Structure formats: structure tokens, C-alpha cells
Amino acid sequence: MTNSSSSTLSAIKNLYNNKCIQRSSLPHELINYLLTLESITFKNDSVCGNFSDNMKLLENDTLLKSIGFQLIKYFYSIDSTMSYVKKVVDNYSRAIIFSEVQTKGRGRAGRIWLSPPGGIWLSILWQVERKELLEILSLAVGVAVVNALKKLLLIDFKLKWPNDIMFLAKKIGGILIENMFKDDKVLSIIGIGLNVNNKMKFSGLQGVISLSEILGFNMPRNVILKAIALEVARILEKTSAEDIINLWRRMNLTIGRKIAVKINHLVVEGTVLDISPRGKLVIEDSKGKVWEISYGDVKYLEGIEYKRFSPHGTFR
């Protein structure tokens, strides 16, 4: 795993706390990326942070508007950002909705998704022009989120098939996608949940973690949300399906591990060989049979700590 050095991480911490840092102490690629995100200024030989954790300010953000979002909406509390997007889907081709808290956040298969203060709970409405991406949309968005986090923090995050964002063996976030078909248009609602400054060690869930618990300091969420939106746009507008699959392969921690996947009433157990060009998980079972799986619940993945059910009966 490629991580920031301790001195670079200290400089990054100070920058994200809106201090001025010697330009030479920060990698050029980070400075350039934060310039793109309109989040820093220069003062003589120093780079000064201009970050905020007040997500309501993003409703008027020029970068989000330049991506083409026709609706940028903040809530302090909402039942579900995805449910809200469904109410306005007829009026927009691109929208981004985010909330401090979700009272009825949902994961895959309708499971409860805990959405306490301090995290990023957002939904993006995106009219998908490139139909070849539909089968791999969840993988594509996962690549976008990992790209955003790595560019901001210079730390490697990983992907677990089909839709989990991971740090080492722990889950830090997840993705849920629902497609809606209207005439000849495909509108995708992309739900992204990311543990940022919420403390997961008190959640009662096994194998989960937040960015602040990884870093040892709180992150301003606005720059993370903007980076995720930018990387989602870049992936969906400019990156080929073949490149997305190859990027996912490089970021994954699924291939080569033993796995058990439940598909309806069937459980497939074996070793993950690869991901197919169409995003299917390729598994060889103990009898040598090769399966290509497009959906299913991962009940077990070798080396992963995350478990969906907690001792207190809460699902995530």
C-alpha cells in the first residue's frame, strides 16, 4: 500500500485545517488537484487552505455547477437522498443531493444504512449517455470514489465487489445504484455513503471505519464531496469501459481470495479468478466449475473483517 509519509501527512493535516504550508512540503499533484477543486490559495511561497465542513455552502459551488448539475440541494436531515431524487427525476438530467443525516438510508436489497452526522450521504442523478457503462456502473463509481480519496489524501483505498469502499480489511463506504428508463433515456441514481468524521468504533458494527479514524483528524467534507462529484463525471464522461475494468482490477481486494456469494437461494463458494469485461465476478468452485456472477450478496471474503450484522441487531 502506498501511503503518505508522516511529514507529508502532517502537512496535509495542517492544510486541511486551513493553515498556510510551504509549497515545497506538498506534492505537486496534490496542489494541482486542490486548485482544480478551488480549495486553496497562494501566499508568497505558501499554499493556504480554504476548506469548509459546511456542506450547505455547496449549493452555490461553481465547480459543481460547471460539472453540469442543474440541481444542487443540501438537507440537514432527510429520509433518503435517493428517495428525494426519485421525486425530481422528471425535471433534471443531472442533480446532486446531500444531507447531514438520513433517517431511512438504504443499502443493497433494502437494508438499513446508518447515516449519522459527520459522514457524506449523497445521491447523484446522472443521465447515462454511454449505454455500455450500465452493466459496470457500480464498479465505475467505485473507481471514481477511490480516485477522489487517493488524490486528496495520497493513501490507497480498495474496492470489494460489487460496491464496497475499503481501507485495508475494513469498510469505509458503499455505493447503491438504481436505473430509471424514460423513453430512450437512462437516468441513474447513484447513492454514495462515506464514513468521514463519524466515529464507527461506537457503531456496534464489525469491520467498519471512518476517514477520521484512519487519519487521526477530521476532514472538511466539502472538498471530498466535490472531488467525488468531479471523479464520477470524469469516469462517466471520458473513461472507456475497458479502462474502468482495468482500473478496478488494480484497486480491488477481491481477486485471488476465497469467497462465498449468495444468489437467491444458491450459495457459490470458491476462489475469485477475475472480473469479466462486463463486470461479472469470475469464481472457480471446489469442483473446478467456473461461475460468472453479475449480482449477489458476498457472505464471506477471505481476509475481510466487515460483517453486515452487528451484535445489536443493526444492519448496514
pLDDT at 284: 97
**pLDDT at site 309:** 41
Q: Which residues of 166-178 are buried (b: 16+ CB within 10 A; e: fewer)?
A: bbbbbbbbbbbbe
User: Can you tell me the distance from the alpha carbon of 56 to that of 188, in angstroms, rounded to the nearest whole number?
Assistant: 24
**Best-predicted range by mean pLDDT (35-39, 262-266, 300-304, 312-316):** 35-39
pLDDT at 272 over 50: yes
> What mean pLDDT comes out for the span 288-299?
93
Which pLDDT value is given to residue 184? 86
What mean pLDDT is predicted for residues 160-168? Answer: 93
Q: Is a pLDDT exceeding 80 seen at residue 202?
A: no
Taken as a whole, the chain contains a residue count of 316
4: pLDDT strictly greater than 80: no
Average pLDDT over residues 21-29: 95
CA–CA separation, 256 vs 202, rounded Å? 32
Task: Supply the pLDDT for residue 206.
Answer: 79
- In 90-240, alpha helices (H): 137-153, 211-215, 221-238
Domain with CATH 2.30.30.100 in the chain: 258-301
Q: Where are the alpha helices (DSSP H) in the chain?
A: 6-16, 28-36, 62-67, 81-88, 137-153, 211-215, 221-238, 241-251
For 242-271, write each residue's pLDDT tens digit: 999 999 999 999 999 999 999 988 999 999
Other CB atoms within 10 Å distance of the CB of residue 300:
14
The pLDDT tens digits for 83-142 are: 999 999 999 999 999 999 988 766 555 555 567 889 999 999 999 999 999 999 999 999
Percent of the chain with pLDDT over 90: 80
State the Cα–Cα distance between residues 68 and 75, nearest whole angstrom.
20
For residues 138-148, give the mean pLDDT. 97
pLDDT of residue 182: 84
Fold designation for 258-301: SH3 type barrels. (2.30.30)
Homologous superfamily (CATH) for 55-148+158-251: Bira Bifunctional Protein; Domain 2 (3.30.930.10)
Which residue intervals of the chain bear CATH 3.30.930.10? 55-148+158-251
Q: Quick check: 144 pLDDT over 50? A: yes
CA distance 138 to 154: 23
Average pLDDT, the chain: 91
What would the pLDDT profile of 53-62 be if each residue is shown by its tens digit?
Answer: 999 999 999 9
Which cell numbers hold the place of 132?
455500455
Which is more confidently placed, 5 or 240?
A: 240
pLDDT at 305: 74
What mean pLDDT is predicted for residues 155-162?
Answer: 94
Tell which wins on pLDDT, 292 or 109: 292
Phi then psi for 183, rounded to 5 degrees?
55, -120
Which residues, at least 6 apart from 310, have a Cβ–Cβ distance to it below 8 Å?
A: 203, 204, 205, 206, 316
CA–CA distance, 291 with 285 (Å, rounded to integer): 8
User: Residue 307: its pLDDT value, please?
Assistant: 58
Burial class (CB in 10 A: 0-12, 13-18, 19+), 113: buried
Determine the straight-line distance between the first and last CA of the chain, rounded to whole angstroms: 27
Peptide bond into 162 cis (omega under 30): yes
pTM score: 0.92
Q: Which three cell numbers, joined as nine digits, stand for 24?
A: 515545497
